[in-house]
Chains A and B, each alone.
Chain A
Amino acid sequence: MLRRQGHSSRSRSDASTPKQSEAASIPVIARLRLTQTLPPVSNDGSGTTAFVFCPWLKRSPCASDLWTSALAVHDVNGTLLDSLPRSKGQRQRHHTYAAIFAVDGLQPRGELIRRIKDAGIGGVINLPSVSFLDGESAEVFSRLSLGIDTEIDCLETCLKEGLRIGGVVRSVQAAKRLLDIGARFLIVHHGPLSGGRAEVDAGESIAELARHRDTPVFALEELITRDRAL
């Protein structure tokens, strides 16, 4: 069971730095929902519920499409940008995370961040993720700087620009890196088919690591199964 229940022990009164104060004042995410439409500000979550905004899922009728959404049938970031309100001064959607294709080198990162912030969206997450791919092709992608490390570099940039981050991960190394830089939650997966023993072990290790950091972990398969009707 990966999903964290209840509030974090981060809600302490002895936080001394601004970052710790912010962390202490924000309840831990207990529930995550995938959504194809931008949640209205009034329904941006109670703080314990966060939304992952994936407008590009609208064109994908099948549950399996989330896995194949990493492939060249669409422009993930372009679709996201087209779905965002263009006017500035939008009311804040603190608990919404924009799903970005974080390895996309063709989309200027600064512009992507600016438009997401202008839309009032509070965070980003690397969804879809190149970590969906495995085998030799995944290794080649990684050697060509099209791997999970590049995605995390992008998330780190977003963090420095004031956005919160969530992370989609498959490996313990990636999870550790995301936890180290301050991911608010993780979404763990084993790839599109049932994981073998090694991957189940990795999932459990990630859950354990995240528990030590009071960071909630969700299973992508559960989100796909539950939320594809949205």
Chain B
Amino acid sequence: MRYSREEILRRLRGQIAQGRPIVGAGAGTGISAKFAEAGGADLIIVYNSGRYRMAGHGSLAGLLAFGDANAIVKEMGEHEILPVVRDTPVVAGVMGTDPLRRMEHLLAELDTLGFSGINNFPTVGLIDGRFRVELERTAMGFGKEIEMIHAAHERGFFTSVYVFNPEEATAMARAGADVVIAHIGLTIGGSIGLACEDAIRLEKAPAVVQSIGDAAKRVKPDVLLLCHGGPIATPADAAYVLERCDAVGFVGASSMERLPVENAIAETTRAFKSVSIRRVYA
């Protein structure tokens, strides 16, 4: 791995001490990673849904059998992201419930490639209903993700984990997670995001994030709390939440990659289209 857990935590705590939030940026392409770093991101996070996102599909596609999630993150890391990121820890999103892999071997491969941290995505935390019950029953449940994070922690990786409720936060903190990211649903907005009315309201987000953070800190007081998703789609949304709870930062994936790209490309194209040409005679 490129950076040790201790080095990463020292950097992150340094930011907090200066009153600055921790920002994690999801990167589906090398250029996203490069410019997230240029913008000051503290962590670059690579997962399979980033590839789908930048191919014009929703992030939720990362849960489905469009590809082997763990193989994709290895490939993205090795050939796109790690070669262009200069001085920022890169975190690998690992599908800890993959029954076709030995996690120790995968973690060793990610270590060799130069990843500094591990995250649990794709995550079954986004799945509910009887299908989720079946996943839990057949050893493909959230418990496998906890095991994977514990193994990563034991290996010396920095770990930042998505959790969806206080119980999961408690379990991940016990497993040694350095950062708990309160996931409050798919990010709204843009061409392929969730509709606003389908997400939790922004006003409710701080309480949800706080309850998750409280549960994690009861087990591991020095754990860092971040937030992600749902109605938190812009810097103003993040500011609103961070002012009202103990979260010390934000992880953006669609909000920091897809949405800016959609807006910037559309506006720039419009600007080029508005340029005048001289009259051409037939």
Determine if B130 and A106 form an interchain contact, defined as CB atoms under 8 angstroms apart: no
A contact residues around B132 at 8 Å (CB): 135, 137
Give complex CA distance A101, B67 in Å: 11
Determine if B195 and A143 form an interchain contact, defined as CB atoms under 8 angstroms apart: yes
A contact residues around B66 at 8 Å (CB): 72, 75-77, 101, 104-107
Determine if A135 and B129 form an interchain contact, defined as CB atoms under 8 angstroms apart: yes
B129-148 interface with A by 8 A CB criterion: 129-135, 137-138, 140
Determine if A74 and B138 form an interchain contact, defined as CB atoms under 8 angstroms apart: no
Contact (A133, B65) CB under 8 Å given A59-B100, A68-B138, A146-B60: no
Determine if A72 and B127 form an interchain contact, defined as CB atoms under 8 angstroms apart: no
Cβ-neighbour of B95 out of A73, A75, A133, A140 (below 8 A) = A73
Give complex CA distance A74, B65 in Å: 6
Question: Please, which residue of chain A has its CB at the minimum distance from the CB of B63?
Answer: A72
Cβ-neighbour of A64 out of B95, B98, B128, B138 (below 8 A) = B138
Give how many B residues have a beta carbon under 8 Å from the other chain's beta carbons.
39
Partner-contacting stretch, out of B5-13, B28-36, B50-58? B50-58
Instruction: Classify the secondary structure of B's interface with A.
Output: mixed
Q: Is A192 an interface residue (CB 8 A)?
A: yes
Give complex CA distance A80, B194 in Å: 31
Cβ-neighbour of A128 out of B48, B65, B138, B192 (below 8 A) = B65
Determine if B64 and A130 form an interchain contact, defined as CB atoms under 8 angstroms apart: yes
A contact residues around B127 at 8 Å (CB): 133, 135, 137
Determine if B64 and A70 form an interchain contact, defined as CB atoms under 8 angstroms apart: yes
Give complex CA distance A137, B198 in Å: 12
Give complex CA distance A101, B192 in Å: 20
Contact (A74, B68) CB under 8 Å given A106-B52, A140-B194, A144-B58: yes
Contact (A70, B129) CB under 8 Å given A106-B57, A192-B134: no
Q: Within the complex, what minimum Cβ distance (angstroms) separates A105 from chain B?
A: 5
Question: Please, which residue of chain A has its CB at the minimum distance from the CB of B95?
Answer: A72
Contact (A106, B58) CB under 8 Å given A133-B129, A135-B130, A192-B131: no
B contact residues around A68 at 8 Å (CB): 99, 134-135, 138, 140
Question: Please, which residue of chain A has its CB at the minimum distance from the CB of B56?
Answer: A105
Cβ-neighbour of A137 out of B55, B100, B128 (below 8 A) = B128
Give complex CA distance A101, B122 in Å: 18
Give complex CA distance A72, B48 in Å: 9
Determine if A138 and B195 form an interchain contact, defined as CB atoms under 8 angstroms apart: no
Cβ-neighbour of A134 out of B64, B131, B192 (below 8 A) = B131
A contact residues around B130 at 8 Å (CB): 134-135, 191-193
Q: Within the complex, what minimum Cβ distance (angstroms) separates B27 from chain A?
A: 18
25 contacts between A and B (CB under 8 A): A62-B138, A64-B134, A68-B99, A68-B135, A70-B65, A71-B63, A71-B122, A72-B66, A73-B65, A73-B98, A73-B99, A75-B66, A75-B67, A78-B67, A104-B64, A104-B65, A106-B67, A130-B64, A133-B127, A133-B129, A140-B198, A191-B130, A192-B134, A193-B130, A193-B134
Q: Which residues of B contact A (CB under 8 A)?
A: 48, 52, 55, 57-58, 60-69, 95, 97-100, 122, 126-135, 137-138, 140, 186, 192, 194-195, 198
Q: Which residues of A contact B (CB under 8 A)?
A: 56, 59-60, 62, 64-65, 67-78, 101, 103-107, 128, 130, 132-138, 140-141, 143-144, 146, 191-193
